[in-house]
Amino acid sequence: MSFKNSGHSHKNADPLDTNIELNQLKKENDLLKEKNKALQNQLEQLTKEQIIYLQNVSHQLVAPLNAIKWHIENLTAGRIHNLDRIKTVLRSIYSQATISVHLAKNFALMSNLEADQTLSAQREPLELVNLHLLMVNLANDFQPLGWGKKVHISVTDDPLEKAPPVLAIKNLISQVFSNIIDNAIKYSAEETDVEIYGRHNPGDDTVLVYIASKGIPLPSTEIERIFNRGYRSEQAKNANPPGTGFGMYIAKKIIDIHEGNITAFTGEHGSSVFEVTLSVKGLTGKAIQRAAKDNIDHR
Ligand SMILES: Nc1ncnc2c1ncn2[C@@H]1O[C@H](COP(=O)(O)OP(=O)(O)O)[C@@H](O)[C@H]1O
Ligand SMILES: [Mg+2]
């Protein structure tokens, strides 16, 4: 490249100025290098976390699938004759399948929610969800997981049954409560009850749902940490070694999308209580926007 006709002259450039400029450039360059290094470290950390998560999820998925396979092998080979024993095996197949589906759903949600956390980005429509009915159905689905420990899930109908439905993405909200109930059973002591109850708060037109369990305590300091990605308390790790520490993180993300609230606290007799608050009509405007957007998209 020639500077002949550039019109610029370097004849009068002060060497001092050039030095200062050079020094400044060097400083900027060093700063950029540092930033680059920090970003690289962050990326490495994220990749490590992702690999651990993947290993963890696949490990947890393989265990119930192997159990199902083993039970079916026993049944088809005619090794089990007693009718009661056959029933027990079928129940176990059912609960192992519930665990697999639950984990697979969390796995899929993780990638979706990380990619985009806005309500409008979620492809499923908002609909009116009867939280009492949802709790009864989930209690039925998850009850078999508690059989081994003699943990019973109960839903107190009144006053939750009378609460109005909330506007929500049903599959996502269902996953929130699945994750809470799954934990409640996992971390419960033997022969205890998981209690689900709730009510409508007419003051701010919200429905509150509570899930209380008795077993390992919630971490006493910084309870909020349980909603952090990958966090598991030492007691949780000891009580139930397989776990991802993603369940409550996913639950909080979903509740945030719905502009609701999720908290955990230690209740009576040291029980672990999770409180979920969802607005009855809070997302009405967004539902209308979504419907309008979907109509345009479909044309
Ligand atoms: N019902 C509960 N009782 C006591 N501790 C709980 C309960 N639910 C959640 N926790 C705490 O919150 C942590 C995070 O939960 P979660 O994200 O579902 O991860 P994971 O179940 O894989 O450990 C748990 O490891 C545990 O320390
Ligand atoms: Mg969990």
Range of lowest pLDDT (46-50, 164-168, 232-236): 46-50
Final residue belonging to a domain, choices 91, 115, 139 = 115
Q: Does 181 lie in the same domain as 240?
A: yes
Number of domains in the chain: 2
Q: ∠ CA 264-266-269 to the nearest 5 degrees?
A: 150
Ligand 1 neighbourhood includes 184 CB (under 6 angstroms):
yes
Q: Over the range 64-101, which residues count as b (16 or more CB within 10 Å of their CB) and which as e?
A: beebbeebeeeeeeeeeeeeeeeeebeebbebbebbbe
CATH number at residue 89: 1.10.287.130
Where does the pLDDT of residue 298 fall: very low under 50, low under 70, confident under 90, or very high at 90 and above? very low
110 & 136 share domain? no
* % of the chain with per-residue pLDDT over 70: 88
Does residue 6 belong to any structural domain of this protein?
Answer: no
Domain edge (last residue) among 96, 115, 134: 115
Judge if 195 and 96 occupy the same domain: no
Range of the domain at 106: 44-115
Model pLDDT, residue 292: 67
User: Which has more confidence, 109 or 271?
Assistant: 271
Q: Is the CB of 216 under 6 A from ligand 1?
A: yes
**In this predicted model, which residue has the larger pLDDT, 262 or 84?**
262
Among 161-165, 190-194, 255-259, where is mean pLDDT lowest? 255-259
For residue 125, the 8-state DSSP code is P
Nearest-angstrom CA–CA distance, 252 and 275 = 11
Is residue 62 situated within a structural domain? yes
Same domain? 106 vs 132:
no
Q: What is the pLDDT of residues 172-223, one digit of tens each?
A: 899 999 999 999 999 999 999 999 999 999 999 999 999 999 999 999 888 9
The atom number, within ligand 1, closest to the CA of 231 reads: 14
Q: Could you tell me what percent of the chain has a pLDDT over 90?
A: 51
Q: Which of 192, 224, 227, 232 to mutate to test the pocket of ligand 1 (most atoms within 8 A of CB)?
A: 232
What is the atom index within ligand 1 of the atom nearest the CA of 213?
1
pLDDT tens, residue by residue, 274-285: 999 999 988 877
Is residue 296 pLDDT above 60, yes or no? no
Prediction pTM value: 0.78
Kindly give, in sequence order, each residue whose CB lies less than 8 Å from that of residue 209, ignoring residues fewer than 6 positions away.
131, 135, 160, 177, 196, 197, 198, 275, 276, 278
Does residue 267 share a domain with residue 123? yes
CATH number assigned to the domain comprising residue 182: 3.30.565.10
Q: Which residues are found with C-beta within 5 Å of the ion, ligand 2?
A: 183, 247
Whether residue 294 is predicted with pLDDT greater than 80 in this model: the reply is: no
Co-location of 109 and 124 in the same domain: no
For residue 254, pLDDT over 80 is answered with yes
User: According to the model, what pLDDT value does residue 205 have?
Assistant: 95
The answer to which of 16-20, 77-81, 131-135 has the lowest mean pLDDT is: 16-20
Q: How many CB atoms lie within 10 A of CB 186?
A: 20
CB 198 within 8 A of CB 129: no
Residue nearest to atom 25 of ligand 1 (CA): 232
- Which two structure tokens, joined as six digits, stand for 9? 């002259």
pLDDT averaged over every residue in the chain: 86
